Every structure is written in C-alpha cells, then in structure tokens.
C-alpha cells in the first residue's frame, strides 16, 4: 500500500508501526506545524506592532489656549479691583512705608509720597537749589499746611521716629492740595486709573496721632474730581492716600461730609485734581482719568 493517499485513513498503525490518526481527528486536536508556525508569526508580529504603537504613540497635536487680547486683560484687571488684595498684610506694609505724618505748627495731618521726577523747565536758580536740597515729593492737603504758607521751612514730615527735613513747595487752596518736598528718600506710590463704584479701597494715615492707621471700605462713586467712599476717615487722615487693591492711589483723603441724612460719605480729592494747579502733568499721563 502506498504512503501517498488521499482521503481519510482508518485509525491504526502504518507499515512502520507508527500510530496514525484520521485527518479529521488531527484537525480537531491541532493544526499542521506549518500552519501553527505561520499563525505564531502573525500573532507575534501583531503583538510587536501593537506593543510598539502603545509604547511609542504618535505625538498628539495640542491646541494652544486662545490668547487674551489687551482689552480682555484690562477687563480682568478691572474685575480684580472690586475684590480685596491677595495679600492684605503685604499691601498694608507697602502703603504704610510710603505714608508720612505732616506737621505745621499745631496742625497735624498725613501725606503720601509720589515720584514726579526732575523737571527740565525749572530754570530759577533758587528753585533748582531747593530741588537739589529736597528731591522727594509728598502730597498732602492745603488745610493741613495753611499756617505754614508764609514760613515754608516750618513744615515737618515724620515716619516712625524719623523726622525728615521738609519744605512747603507749592499749594492749591481751591482743590485743597499741597506739595511738600523732603530730603530723605521714601518709596513712592503709583497712581490709579479712574475708580469705579464698588472698587475695594483702603485709607492709611495718622488719625488722632495714631500713625499707620488703616481703614477699609469701597468706592461709592465719583463726582468730578472727588471720590466718595465708605472708607472711614477721622481727624488726622487728611492728606493721606486712598488706595485700590493694588496699592495705587485713587485720591488724597480730604474731608467727611456731615449732615442729617449723610452716612459714610468720606471724600478724597482724585488724582487728576493735582493737575489743576499744583503740578504740570504734561509728563504724567497716568494722572489723567480721561
């Protein structure tokens, strides 16, 4: 009997004595070796490719977050001004360091330091000499220094135990403002944009001789150059700064409106009033609220 046959062969032994199973039975128990080998190659290849794809995925394309234009950034900053500062202690320290107590004879008030830079328009030799002797500027109220108008060197400025040499440089009685020059360097404050109703606000000054006192409220509204706030003011706060949540000066604390129906009407003279007479603001665009 030939070994080359087609079809099934009954189970039993071939002429060599080896056990022979029918093809149908082999198909049920296992595939031929070549088929198994091919199957393994395909499976391993798929596993390798799949593993490679898993371990080394194609770099994903990340879309960039849309950038805010300048107007959106400004809106965000304005929104922040309605809430209190992120670090109140840090803000208080900053503003206190730039606030001084002003004395004129028996009058006592407050003042805040501003950096006006050097003016090229000063040509009078006496004014140049004064600028060199007193190169730093403090804003206060006219009613705080009015008794020293005829004796400008009698004005004194003080911070803590340090007394500064001072000079009453100029004043504006109508807007109740004055510029006092001092010899010692004190960190200046920046000025604010026009405030909006609801802005957080803080006053720093020396009410009743208590230097560095702090009171907090919010801007109620503006009326011309005046800023009306709920921030409590008392005698001695005059001339001190009213600042926003960034420590920028909104105005100079000036008076409290007292009336039968008025409540918490505390008034600061807004920054633009400095430009009416006291200062030449041609080089200080930020002083304008236009």
Tell me whether residue 273 is in a domain.
yes
SS3 68: coil
Tell me whether residue 78 is in a domain.
no
List the catalytic residue out of 98, 213, 215, 238.
238
Tell me whether residue 77 is in a domain.
no
Strands (E), 116-275: 136-140, 156-159, 162-164, 166-172, 177-182, 200-205, 213-223, 226-229, 241-243, 249-256, 266-270
- Of 55, 77, 104, the one marking the end of a domain is 55
**Is the domain of 219 the same as that of 129?**
yes
**Is the domain of 32 the same as that of 173?**
no
Is residue 238 part of the annotated active site? The answer reads yes
**Is the domain of 116 the same as that of 160?**
yes
Q: Over 70: is that where the pLDDT of 123 sits?
A: no
* Of 259, 258, 205, 253, the residue nearest 229 (C-alpha): 253
List the catalytic residue out of 98, 176, 213, 215.
176
**Is the domain of 151 the same as that of 26?**
no
| pLDDT value of residue 131 | 84
Domain that holds residue 180: 85-287
For the chain, what is the domain count?
A: 2
- pTM, full prediction: 0.72
Tell me whether residue 219 is in a domain.
yes
Tell me whether residue 74 is in a domain.
no
Q: What is the mean pLDDT of residues 94-117?
A: 96
190-226 as b/e: b if 16+ CB within 10 A: ebbbebeeebbbbbbbbbeeebbbebebbbbebeebb
> Do 203 and 238 contact (CB within 8 A), yes or no?
no
**Is the domain of 91 the same as that of 49?**
no
Q: What is each CA distance from 276 to 41, 162, 242, in whole angstroms?
A: 91, 32, 19
Q: Give residue-wise pLDDT tens across range 179-202.
A: 999 999 999 999 999 999 999 999
**Is the domain of 108 the same as that of 42?**
no
The residues facing 107 across adjacent strands are 104
**Is the domain of 26 the same as that of 108?**
no
**How far apart are alpha carbons 49 and 55 in whole angstroms?**
10
**How far apart are alpha carbons 33 and 16 in whole angstroms?**
22
**Is the domain of 249 the same as that of 179?**
yes
Tell me whether residue 6 is in a domain.
no
Q: Over 60: is that where the pLDDT of 76 sits?
A: no
**Is the domain of 275 the same as that of 176?**
yes
**Is the domain of 117 the same as that of 38?**
no
Tell me whether residue 51 is in a domain.
yes
Tell me whether residue 232 is in a domain.
yes
The residue with greater pLDDT, 246 or 52, is: 246
Q: Give residue-wise pLDDT tens across range 134-176.
A: 999 999 999 999 999 999 999 999 998 999 999 999 999 999 9
CATH number at residue 132: 2.40.10.120
The phi-psi region of residue 102 (left if phi > 0; otherwise alpha if psi is between -120 and 50; otherwise beta) is beta
Is residue 176 part of the annotated active site? The answer reads yes
pLDDT tier for residue 127 given thresholds of 50, 70 and 90: confident
**Is the domain of 131 the same as that of 22?**
no
- Of 55, 70, 105, the one marking the end of a domain is 55
Name, in order, each residue with C-beta under 8 angstroms of 23's C-beta and a sequence gap of 6 or more.
8, 9
**Is the domain of 98 the same as that of 200?**
yes
């Amino acid at each position: 009997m030939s070994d080359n046959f087609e079809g099934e062969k009954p189970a039993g032994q071939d002429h060599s004595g080896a056990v022979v199973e029918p093809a149908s039975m082999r198909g049920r128990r296992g595939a031929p070796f070549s088929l198994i080998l091919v199957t393994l190659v395909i499976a391993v290849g798929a596993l390798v490719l799949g593993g490679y794809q898993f371990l080394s995925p194609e770099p994903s394309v990340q879309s960039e977050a849309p950038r805010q234009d300048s107007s959106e950034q400004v809106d965000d900053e304005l929104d922040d001004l309605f809430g209190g500062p992120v670090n109140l202690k840090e803000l208080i320290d900053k503003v206190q360091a730039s606030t001084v107590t002003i004395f004129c004879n028996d009058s006592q008030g407050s003042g805040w330091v501003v950096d006006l830079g050097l003016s090229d328009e000063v040509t009078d030799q006496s004014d140049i000499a004064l600028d060199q002797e007193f190169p730093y500027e403090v804003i206060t109220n006219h009613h705080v220094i009015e008794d020293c108008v005829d004796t400008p060197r009698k004005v004194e400025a003080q911070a803590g135990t340090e007394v500064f040499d001072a000079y009453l440089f100029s004043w504006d009685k109508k807007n109740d403002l004055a510029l006092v020059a001092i010899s010692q360097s004190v960190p200046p404050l920046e000025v604010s944009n026009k405030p909006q109703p609801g802005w957080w606000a803080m006053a720093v000054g020396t009410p009743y001789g208590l230097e560095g006192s702090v009171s907090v409220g919010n801007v109620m509204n503006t009326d011309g150059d005046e800023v009306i706030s709920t921030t409590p003011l008392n005698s001695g706060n005059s001339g001190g700064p009213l600042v926003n949540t960034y420590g920028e000066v909104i105005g100079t604390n000036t008076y409290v409106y007292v009336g039968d129906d008025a409540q918490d009407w505390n008034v600061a003279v807004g920054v633009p009033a400095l430009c009416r007479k006291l200062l030449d603001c041609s080089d200080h665009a930020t002083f304008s609220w236009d």
